[in-house]
Structure 1
């Protein structure tokens, strides 16, 4: 029962962050499941199963609050779905313990990217130009982000959101809402790939439902919060969190001396705290 409550909280926290940032549901959830000892393929499969429901709830909430560019969604979902399905099949055929450190390294790098992305840049929420996506760009972005999402248990948002935000004059809330809404199709495709490759037998439905429940509760709250809370601060918080938890996984996998491990944790925590303080001061100066 205690673990179900923990997983519900994980789903709530991950969706609250994802719905506010346009990224990090998969990365946050998969990171925590790996910490609990899940095999990479099963962790990613469980997260994507939960995301089928949570992304639907998130998409509906973002549409209701007017946070979605529908044309951009339609351009992204087909290539994204193909990439996610291919990534799921690829990951499912790799030995769990062999791939675990590599997935954690991938997630760690995503965490670093998320932190510095929002530490150094705070897009204006007042800009309202439509998202411009050519066919070539939408196909390449969808394939790469979809594949990364399935293999890492997260990657659609961390890749798609910054790429779309790189366009000048684009509303941050429109990007977040568009990425979150399009992720529904990516979650379905990745889930089908995992279920075809590893089957239904090993899925712990209690844990998946707990993740779903937490995400459903958080989805409308996040869609509303995107208008209220500063995304730069949430980005720095989730980036540091992902770095810390994946460092723990890597240190455990590589059997690093505990004394050295504690020193590394202290350095990460100190850097994380400094990043939070710096980001707040930087925004106050603007």
Structure 2
């Protein structure tokens, strides 16, 4: 019972982060399932089955708050579904001994990318309003869908930063569109896992609990996306994912690191992680202060211009 409650909380927190940041539900949930001993394919299958419900709830919530561009959803979601089905059948064909470290490496890379991307660069805002072309979105969706299924997550970590980096959509629209299109990826990946694994390796009570936690969090996250600082959240989530998957790799048969080496590695990662969060908070406050100064200057310039016009007319 305690394990199910924990999974429900993980589903809630993971969806809260995913709905606010446009990524990390699958990466976070799969990382936990691997940490408690679930085999790689079953972990990814469990998460993707739960995501059918959570992504539907999240997509509808974002749509109600005006955060979805349906043209982008179609252009990236359909190729993404093809990639997800291919990735699921590929992962299902690997042995557990091979799949677990491979998935941890993928998750570690995604976590490091999230950590560095949001800590160092924040959110680009240039080129807003320019169209996103199919020749960009289709390959992006195909690759992101394949990585998502093989890594137990990755649709958001690959898709969200790539579209944000283009600077052509407002962040809330990017996050809402990625979350809405993930519904197609979850269905395709789940179908691929059923073809490759069947249903005997999936614990459906875990699916239900993850789903309940995610569905509860979805509307809250869609509302929070307008208020929570994505830069800080990205740094925090990236650090958790890196730390957890380094732990998995160091304890795996591939490495089998001694306890002292593991401790040193954890301390170094935590120090980097804390420094990243502190830096993100500082930069976020600096950006907010700059925006406030610019707004005040613009207001003062506006008042000065009005005064000049009144003087001239007098």
TM-score exceeds 0.5: yes
Counterpart of 1:221?
A: 220
**Greater CA radius of gyration, 1 or 2?**
2
Counterpart of 2:284?
A: 283
Q: Secondary structure at the match of 1:166?
A: helix
Q: Secondary structure at the match of 1:68?
A: coil
CA contact (8 A) 1:23 1:158 kept: yes
Counterpart of 1:11?
A: 11
How far has the Cα of 1:132 moved from its partner?
Answer: 2.6
After TM superposition, which residue ranges in structure 1, 4 or more long, deviate above 4 angstroms?
A: none
**Counterpart Cα distance in 2 of 1:242 and 1:269:** 11
CA contact (8 A) 1:65 1:224 kept: yes
Counterpart of 1:192?
A: 191
Which TM-score applies when normalising by structure 2?
Answer: 0.88
How far has the Cα of 1:73 moved from its partner?
Answer: 0.5
* 2:42 paired with 1:42: yes
**Counterpart Cα distance in 2 of 1:103 and 1:232:** 26
CA contact (8 A) 1:131 1:164 kept: no
What are the within-5 Å matches in structure 2 for residues 32-71 of structure 1?
A: 32-71=32-71
CA contact (8 A) 1:164 1:175 kept: yes
Counterpart of 2:107?
A: 107
Counterpart of 2:257?
A: 256
How far has the Cα of 1:263 moved from its partner?
Answer: 1.1
What are the within-5 Å matches in structure 2 for residues 204-215 of structure 1?
A: 204-215=203-214
Q: Gaps spanning 5+ residues in structure 1: where?
A: none
Counterpart of 1:177?
A: 176
**Counterpart Cα distance in 1 of 2:168 and 2:120:** 18
Counterpart of 2:140?
A: 141
Counterpart of 2:93?
A: 93
CA contact (8 A) 2:127 2:167 kept: no
**Number of residue pairs the alignment of both structures matches:** 285
Q: Secondary structure at the match of 2:199?
A: coil
* 2:79 paired with 1:79: yes
**Counterpart Cα distance in 1 of 2:228 and 2:276:** 18
**Counterpart Cα distance in 1 of 2:164 and 2:187:** 25
CA contact (8 A) 2:41 2:99 kept: no
Counterpart of 1:29?
A: 29
Cα RMSD, aligned residues only: 1.4
**Counterpart Cα distance in 2 of 1:266 and 1:136:** 43
CA contact (8 A) 1:39 1:96 kept: yes
CA contact (8 A) 2:124 2:165 kept: no
CA contact (8 A) 1:69 1:131 kept: no
Deviates more, 1:20-29 or 1:127-136: 127-136
Q: Secondary structure at the match of 2:251?
A: helix
Which TM-score applies when normalising by structure 1?
Answer: 0.97
Q: Whose relative contact order is higher, 1 or 2, with alpha carbons under 8 Å and at least 6 apart?
A: 1
Counterpart of 2:295?
A: none
Counterpart of 1:119?
A: 119
**Counterpart Cα distance in 2 of 1:108 and 1:132:** 32
Over residues 62-119 of structure 1, what are the superposed CA-to-partner deviations in whole Å (9 max), with x where a residue is unaligned?
0011111111001112111100000000000000111211110111011010011111
**Counterpart Cα distance in 2 of 1:99 and 1:71:** 35
How far has the Cα of 1:256 moved from its partner?
Answer: 1.1
Over residues 213-254 of structure 1, what are the superposed CA-to-partner deviations in whole Å (9 max), with x where a residue is unaligned?
110011011101111110001000000000000011011103
